């Protein structure tokens, strides 16, 4: 069955609905029908059919009455399975939380986008408890990367279903979380735009945590413009305030430390070609060593990963009880490592992190952005990772390596598609800025997007 309006960006759909060419009810029904009939039934964990229809009908009436709530009115959206949705338990991709009581209210950001008129069609799959960059889930199945044309490949995680839902054209946007790369990695693997906002930019009320010192939120979508519109609505603004940057005013620094180590040739070529195009367009680019990046990994090697310590504190009662037998063995193994991280180590991590953030703040000029490949490789084949736990751990670590730096140093970042690598799979171009510089980052991303990934 043909779905003529699916696979379009928010901006494209908004024009159609605001002009009266497309009705929100028609679009919602297209989306729901496409989800139900899609060959990959591991993408969505639950559909919100009744809610979606009610919200679409309300949006339709507002548009007919000339009372539109703005650019997002009537736009379908999917939510990662750790956002509270009233009337449903918040399962976070797990089987054990399915027994929990239903949420009494929506998460704050769900409420905010509902207030903007968006139509929630369902909750999407994820790595259990958001604790993997690859996206495998033994409970609800693993969504397959829809871009792959040779073998079944991982979707990226932990916001796996979010990326696949958008890349498959089922919804134009999905909201994910990012603790070590969980928005930017799946966006890179699926050829999407993924925006990880500064920690604290949005309310985290009603969002199941992984590591509260690192957790952040953001949209996975088809363009930077779409991300800007959603960002504004998540902060309950009636319109975005981002000003389009001038390419000739943008300065980038490309790190020569850590992020280029053991990188696939195809990824390097796609990234370097994007940098060359940017320079030709007038963007200033320099390359520099970033010893702070080494410092992040040295600190974790000495005291343990902060994410593991905080995840263990959150789940220790599950790990020591019968729930552990119902959890993903890989999540259990990784989370259990947090038992070895004592209070002295954790305090050392906090102090060391503060020092590295201060050090990092002096490594770039005030209006300079950092650019490097989102992931050092393209989406890997699924089967070997499903069958070999040692390979899974090694690949997961490498997948998270480039992005977790931004979480540890409290950055904001946007992953943009910049070409193709091995197997014709998408490559991500990560543009990052210091915490709180989201407006500047989004303005720069809006300007460089058309150069980094020219659409033909």
Question: Which element (helix H / strand E) includes 287?
Answer: strand 284-288
* Paired tokens of 6: 């699916």
pLDDT (average), residues 10-24 = 97
Rounded percentage of the chain residues whose pLDDT exceeds 70: 100
Mean pLDDT, rounded, for 396-417: 98
Measured CA angle at 149 (ends 146, 154), to 5 deg: 50
Contact 443, 243 (CB under 8 A): yes
251 is catalytic: no
Catalytic residue among 158, 187, 223, 415: 158
Q: Residue 2: which pLDDT band, with cuts at 50, 70 and 90?
A: confident
Contact 141, 42 (CB under 8 A): yes
Beta carbons within 8 Å of 338's beta carbon, 6+ residues apart:
304, 308, 309, 310, 311, 312, 313, 316
Please state, in angstroms and rounded to a whole number, the distance separating the CA atoms of residues 57 and 175.
22
Q: Which residue has better confidence, 455 or 83?
A: 83
Got the DSSP string for 331-381? HHHHHHGGGG--HHHHHHHHHHHHHHHHHHHTSS-TTEEEEEESSSS-PPB
Q: What is the spatial distance between Cα 78 and Cα 311, in angstroms, rounded to a whole number?
A: 25
For residue 178, pLDDT over 70 is answered with yes
CB 401 within 8 A of CB 163: no
Q: Residue written as tokens 């704050």?
A: 108
- Per-residue pLDDT reduced to its tens digit, 337-350: 999 999 999 999 99
Arithmetic mean of pLDDT, 146-152? 97
Longest dimension (CA), the chain: 62
How many angstroms separate the CA atoms of 247 and 243, rounded? Answer: 12
Catalytic residue among 60, 94, 174, 182: 182
Residue 454 has pLDDT above 90, yes or no: no
Residue 182 annotated to the active site: yes
Predicted pLDDT at 1: 73
158: preceding bond cis by omega (within 30 degrees): yes
Active site residue 80: yes
Residues 6 or more apart whose CB falls under 8 angstroms from that of 66 comprise none
DSSP 101: P
The active-site residue out of 31, 60, 80, 148 is: 80
What is the chain's alpha carbon radius of gyration, rounded to the nearest angstrom?
Answer: 21
Contact 323, 296 (CB under 8 A): no
pLDDT of residue 456: 54
pLDDT at position 367 is: 85
- Tens digit of each residue's pLDDT (9 = 90 or more) over 278-326: 999 999 999 999 999 999 999 999 999 999 999 999 999 999 999 999 9
Question: If residue 404 lies in a helix (H) or strand (E), which one and from where to where?
Answer: helix 389-408
**HSE-up of residue 290 (Cα within 13 Å, Cβ side):** 28
């Amino acid at each position: 069955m043909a779905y003529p309006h699916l696979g379009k960006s928010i901006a494209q759909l908004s024009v159609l609905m605001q002009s009266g060419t497309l009705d929100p009810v028609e679009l919602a029904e297209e989306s729901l029908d496409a989800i139900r009939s899609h060959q990959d039934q591991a993408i969505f964990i639950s559909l919100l059919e009744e809610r979606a229809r009610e919200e679409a009908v309300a949006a339709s009436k507002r548009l007919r009455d000339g009372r539109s709530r703005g650019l997002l009115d009537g736009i379908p959206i999917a939510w990662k399975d750790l956002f509270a949705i009233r009337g449903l338990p918040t399962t976070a991709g797990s089987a054990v939380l399915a027994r929990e009581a239903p949420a009494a209210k929506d998460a704050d950001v769900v409420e905010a986008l509902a207030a903007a008129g968006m139509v929630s069609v369902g909750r999407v799959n994820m790595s259990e408890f958001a604790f993997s960059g690859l996206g495998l889930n033994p409970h609800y199945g693993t969504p397959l990367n829809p871009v792959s044309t040779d073998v079944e490949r991982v979707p990226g995680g932990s916001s796996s279903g979010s990326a696949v839902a958008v890349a498959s054209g089922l919804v134009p946007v999905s909201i994910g979380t990012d603790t070590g790369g969980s928005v930017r990695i799946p966006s890179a693997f699926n050829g999407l735009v993924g925006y990880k906002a500064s920690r604290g930019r949005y309310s985290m009320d009603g969002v199941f945590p992984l590591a509260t010192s690192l957790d952040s939120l953001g949209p996975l979508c088809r363009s930077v413009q779409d991300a800007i519109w959603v960002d504004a609505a998540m902060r309950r603004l009636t319109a975005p305030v981002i000003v389009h940057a001038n390419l000739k005013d943008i300065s980038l620094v490309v790190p020569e430390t850590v992020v280029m180590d053991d990188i696939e040739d195809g990824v390097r070529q796609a990234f370097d070609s994007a940098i060359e195009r940017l320079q030709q367009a007038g963007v200033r680019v320099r390359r520099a060593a970033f010893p702070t990046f080494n410092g992040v990994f040295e600190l974790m090697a000495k005291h343990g990963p902060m994410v593991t310590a905080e995840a263990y504190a959150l789940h220790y009662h599950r790990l020591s009880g019968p729930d552990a037998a119902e959890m993903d063995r890989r999540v259990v193994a990784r989370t259990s490592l947090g038992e070895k991280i004592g209070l002295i180590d954790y305090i050392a991590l906090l102090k060391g992190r503060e020092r590295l953030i201060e050090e990092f703040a002096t490594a770039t000029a005030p209006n300079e952005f950092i650019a490097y490949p989102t992931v050092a490789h393209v989406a890997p084949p699924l089967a070997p990772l499903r069958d070999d736990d040692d390979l899974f751990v090694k690949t997961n670590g490498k997948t998270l390596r480039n992005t977790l730096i931004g979480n540890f140093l409290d950055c904001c970042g946007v992953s943009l598609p910049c070409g193709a690598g091995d197997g014709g799979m998408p490559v991500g171009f990560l543009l990052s800025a210091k915490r709180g510089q989201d407006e500047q980052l989004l303005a720069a991303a809006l300007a460089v997007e058309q150069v980094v990934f020219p659409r033909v």
